[in-house]
Amino acid sequence: MYRIGFDVGGTFTDFTMLDEGRGSVHYFKVPSTPHDPSEAIGTGLSALIADHGIDPALIRHLGHGTTVATNMVIERRGALTGLITTRGFRDTLEIGRQTRPHLYDYSVSRPTPLVPRDLRLEVDERTLSDGTVELPLDEEQVAEAARKLGEAGVGAVVICFLHSYRRPDHERRAGEIVRAILPDAYISLSSNVLPEFREYERMSTTVLNAYMGPRMGTYLERLLGRVGDLGITGELDTVHSNGGLMSVPTVREIPVRTCVSGPAAGVIGAAEIGRFANFPNLVTFDVGGTSTDVSVIVGGKPLFASDRLVADYPVKTPMIDIHVIGAGGGSIAAIDDAGALKVGPRSAGAAPGPVAYGRGGTEPTITDANIVLGRLDPVALLEGRLPVDAAAARAVIEERIARPLGLSVEEAAYGILRIANANMSRAIRSVSTERGHDIRDFALFAYGGAGPLHACDLAQDCGIRTVLVPQEPGTLCARGILLSDINMDFVRSELSLAADASWRRVCAVLGEMRDEATAWLVREGVAEEDRQLRIMVDARYDGQNFEVSVPLDDVREDGLDDMVQRFRRQHVQEYGYDVSDRPVEIVNCRIQAIGRVARVPVSAPVPVPGLDAVKGRRPVYFGKDAGWVETSIYRRGQLPIGRTFAGPAIIEEMSSTLIVQPGQTITVDPVGNLIVSIFE
C-alpha cells in the first residue's frame, strides 16, 4: 500500500510517496501550472505511478497542501459575494478596527472590502450578548434580500448577525430561506465558520470563506476528477492552517482554514524531524519560488496564532504562526526610480519563471544570480529534468543590473543575493529575537527548493550556530503532509468572570463541544483508538483586551481553581507578570479533535553501489573577499553516515542544493540529515 503527499507551490508542485510495504520514501517535483493547479498534480501522480510501476488501486491515501485559496484572494479571483447582516452593521466590514495599515505612510490604504457596499444588505433582528433575543428575525426581509442578491448575480452569500456566536438560530433560519431562493449559491454562516466574539473579525473571516468557496469547490472537483482518471480510489485529505488534515467535504464547507495549508505542513514536518534529530528548538526557514516562510518551534512544538492577515484581510482561525515575505527563487531583481537595487516581492513564479529556465522570462531573478555565481548547477536542475541556460542568466543580469550600476556581473549577482538575504534575515529576527527568544539556542531548519542555498549565509548573519537540512528539503512540505494528523478546532465564546456558576456553564459547553468534536472524528472515519481531544480555555484578567490559551487535562466541575492557577502561570510565561488581585475572565472554550495517523519512517538514504560521492568540481563565487573558489560538488545520497568534512562545498540532490561556506563544517547524522556547524 502507498501514501502520497503533495504540495502545490508557486513554482513547483512537490510529491512524497511512502511505500508502506517496504518502508521506503520517494520524492518527486514537477513545475506548477498556475492556470490549473490540478494539472501539475495529475502530471506528478501519473509520473510516480509509471516510474515505480504502481497499481493505482494500492494508493490508499492522498494528502494535499495548497495555496489555491490564498492566491484566489491575492489575485481577487473569488466569487461575487453578498452579505446579509443585522440592521445598522453593514459597514462593519469597511470600518474594521479604524487602524491604518502603516502608521506614517498615508499612501498605504486598507484593501477594498470583498463585498461592495450595494451588496451588503441589512435585515431586522437582534440578539443580545447574553443570547437573549431582543428583536425576532424578519423572515420576509431576509427573502427580499436574497432576491436582490440573486438579481445581482452573486455566487456566494454571507450571513453574519450580531452575537450569533451566542445564539445561532437566526443565522440558521436565514440560511434556510436564502438556500430556498438561491439553491445554487454558496452560503456561509458566521456561526458555523467562527462562533466567536469580535464582530469585525468574525465577519471578515466568514466573507473570505464565502469568497473562496465556489471556486475552491470547482478546483476540488477538477482535482478529484484527475485522481479518479488515474484509477486512484484512496481518500483525499487537505492540510489546513493548524497543520492537521481534513476531508474534502470539510474543505468545501470551510476553505478559509486552508490559507497557510502547505507552509503549515512544512512546519509540522520540521518539528517531527527536529525531535528525532535532537533539535527541539528550531527556526524553520522555507524558501520556495515566490516566498519565504519562517516560523519557530520551541520544545518540539510549533507556535500557534489565532489570527493573521491574508492579502491584508483579517482571518481569525487557529493556525501555525508563520511569517511570510515575498522573497523566493523567482523573486525579480530590478533598479528602482532612485537607482537602488531591489529584490522582490514581484516574482517570475512558475510562468514564465527565471530567465535561465528558457520559458520566456525576461527579468533577472535570485535563481539566475545563483546560477551565474556557480551555486546552482549551470547545466540542469531536478537531476537533469530541467535544463538551464547559464549564458542567458548572465546576459540579463549584465544588461539589467551590472551595466547600469557600473558593476561586474559577479558583483551584481552577489548583490542580488545579499539584498535577498537581508530581507530573509529580518523575517527570521521577527519570529525569534523580536519575540524574546535567544536565537543562539535555536538551529536553523532549512528547506524548500531554495532554503539550503541561503541558510548558511543567513545563519552566519543572524548568529545561529547550527543549520539542519533534512533529506530532499525541496519536498518537505509534501513530506510533512504524511506526518500530519487529522484534526479540527472547535470554539465557542463564553464571556464571563470565573466563578462557580459560570464555570458550571463552561463545563456544560465543553461537554457539548466534546460530543460535537467526537462526532466530527467519526464522520472523518477515525477509529476510536486513534481519537484524541485537547481541551483549552481562553482567559484574561478583567479589563484586558486579549487572552491567553490555558490547556486543561479534563473538564471537571471542581476544576475552577486549577484552571485559574494554570492561567496565572501561563500569563507569567507569556507576559512576564501576574496580577494576583484581579478577577479572571473566561473568554472562549476550545477543543481540538485529533485523529492520529501512521508516521513516515525516518531512515537514511541508501547509496547507489559504485557511485562516487564526489560529482565533480566547479568554480563558485563566495563574495568579494574570497572571490571564485574551486569547490567540490557532492551527491547527497552517496554521502556516508557520520562523515564530517569542511567547506566550501556544494551538496546537490533532486529537490535542492546546499551551499556550505569556507570555514564551516558539515556532518551527516545517523538518519541522513545534514548538520552544518557555522561557528566553532
For residues 565 and 633, membership in a common domain is answered with: no
Calculate the dihedral angle through the C-alpha atoms of 146, 151, 156, 162, rounding to the nearest 10 degrees. -30
- 228, three cell numbers: 479518479
At 126, is the pLDDT very low, low, confident or very high (cuts 50, 70, 90)? very high
Domain of 538, CATH number, reads: 3.30.1490
Cα angle, residue 157 at apex, residues 151 and 159 outer, rounded to 5°: 125
Residue 100 lies in a domain: yes
Is 80 exceeded by the pLDDT of residue 106?
A: no
Cβ pair 145, 187 in contact under 8 A? no
Of 187, 217, 247, which marks where a domain is finished? 217
Reduce the DSSP state of residue 374 to 3 states and report it.
coil
For residues 547 and 624, membership in a common domain is answered with: no
Residue 453 lies in a domain: no
How many structural domains is the chain composed of? 3
pLDDT recorded at residue 298:
92
At 325, is the pLDDT very low, low, confident or very high (cuts 50, 70, 90)? confident
pLDDT recorded at residue 587:
93
For residues 544 and 632, membership in a common domain is answered with: no
Residue of 187, 188, 137, 140 lying closest to 162 (CA atoms): 137
Residue 126: what residue type? R
For residues 183 and 81, membership in a common domain is answered with: yes
At 108, is the pLDDT very low, low, confident or very high (cuts 50, 70, 90)? confident
For residues 622 and 590, membership in a common domain is answered with: no
Mean pLDDT of 88-112: 83
Out of 139-153, 281-295, 307-321, 642-656, the most confident range is 139-153
- 650, three cell numbers: 556544494
Q: Which residue range is the domain that position 573 belongs to?
A: 487-595
Residue 533 lies in a domain: yes
Mean pLDDT of the chain: 90
Does 659 or 573 have the greater pLDDT score? 659
Residue 103 lies in a domain: yes
Mean pLDDT of 507-526: 92
Of 201, 217, 233, which marks where a domain is finished? 217
Cβ pair 645, 665 in contact under 8 A? yes
Torsional class of 642: left (φ above 0), alpha (ψ -120 to 50), beta (otherwise): left
Is 70 exceeded by the pLDDT of residue 401?
A: yes
How far are the Cα atoms of 40, 150, 274, 428, 474 from residue 267, in angstroms, in the given order?
Answer: 23, 42, 10, 14, 13
Mean pLDDT of 179-193: 96
For residues 80 and 185, membership in a common domain is answered with: yes
HSE, CB side, 13 Å, CA atoms: give it for residue 403. 7
For residues 622 and 586, membership in a common domain is answered with: no
For residues 666 and 571, membership in a common domain is answered with: no
For residues 542 and 622, membership in a common domain is answered with: no
For residues 515 and 651, membership in a common domain is answered with: no
Mean pLDDT of 281-310: 88
Residue 558 lies in a domain: yes
